A and B are shown apart, each in its own frame.
Chain A
Amino acid sequence: DQQVKQNSPSLSVQEGRISILNCDYTNSMFDYFLWYKKYPAEGPTFLISISSIKDKNEDGRFTVFLNKSAKHLSLHIVPSQPGDSAVYFCAATASGTYKYIFGTGTRLKVLA
C-alpha cells in the first residue's frame, strides 16, 4: 500500500506559466514533507519542505501548500523555466522515525 502518491506521472507546462505538482498521503502520523528535484544521472536534490504546523512555505519561485485535512500537498513553481524540467519527488516522514516515504515522481517538462 503506497503511503505517498503522486498520481500524475508527467506534466507539460509552457515557459512562464505556473506548474502545479500534487502529492497525496495516507498516514496521519506524517508531520514533515519535502520536495526533491532530480535530473537524469544525478541524485535527488532538496527543493523545499514544510512542517505540519504550517500550511504554506515559500522559497523564491517555489511554494509548497499543505492541506492536512485532505492529506494533500502541492508544489507551485511560478514562473516555470526550461531548467525546471526534471522529475519531482515528494516525500513524507514522521518525527523520530527516520523513515522517509517517497512518491513515484512526476516528470515536469517546461516548454520554451
Chain B
Amino acid sequence: NAGVTQTPKFQVLKTGQSMTLQCAQDMNHEYMSWYRQDPGMGLRLIHYSVGAGITDQGEVPNGYNVSRSTTEDFPLRLLSAAPSQTSVYFCASRGQKNEKLFFGSGTQLSVL
C-alpha cells in the first residue's frame, strides 16, 4: 500500500515558469489537500478537495490552481512561478469518517 505519493521530490524553476506538482493516493480517500511549509510558518493550507469535481481554497491559495478529476489524483499547478513560492509542498488525504490526515513525503521547490 503506497499511501500518498508525491512527484517530483525536488524541482528548481525560474521565475515565470509553470509546473505541476503531482499527488496520488491509493486509499480511496475522498478528501485531499495541499500544504506548504515555510520556516517559522508551520504548515499552511493552499487548496483542498472533498471529492472529484469539488475544490476549495485554503489559507494561501493565490498563485496556485487545482483540479480533481479522479478520486486518486489531486495535482497542484503553478502557472507563473515566483520566488515567494519557494517552499516545501505536502499533499495530504483522509477518509470521510476519519479525521486523521495522511501526508506524502513532500516536494522541495525552489524558484530562482
Contacts and interface: CB of A to CB of B under 8 A. Distances in A.
A102 B100 contact: no
Contacts, number: 57
A34 B41 CA distance: 18
A102 B104 contact: no
B44 interface: yes
Interface of B: 4, 31, 33, 35, 40-45, 48, 50, 56, 58-59, 90, 92, 99-106
A99 B103 contact: no
A98 B90 contact: no
Interface of A: 4, 6, 9, 32, 34, 36, 41-46, 49, 89, 91, 93, 95, 98-105
Contact of B40 (A32, A91, A102, A104): A104
Contacts of B33: 98, 100
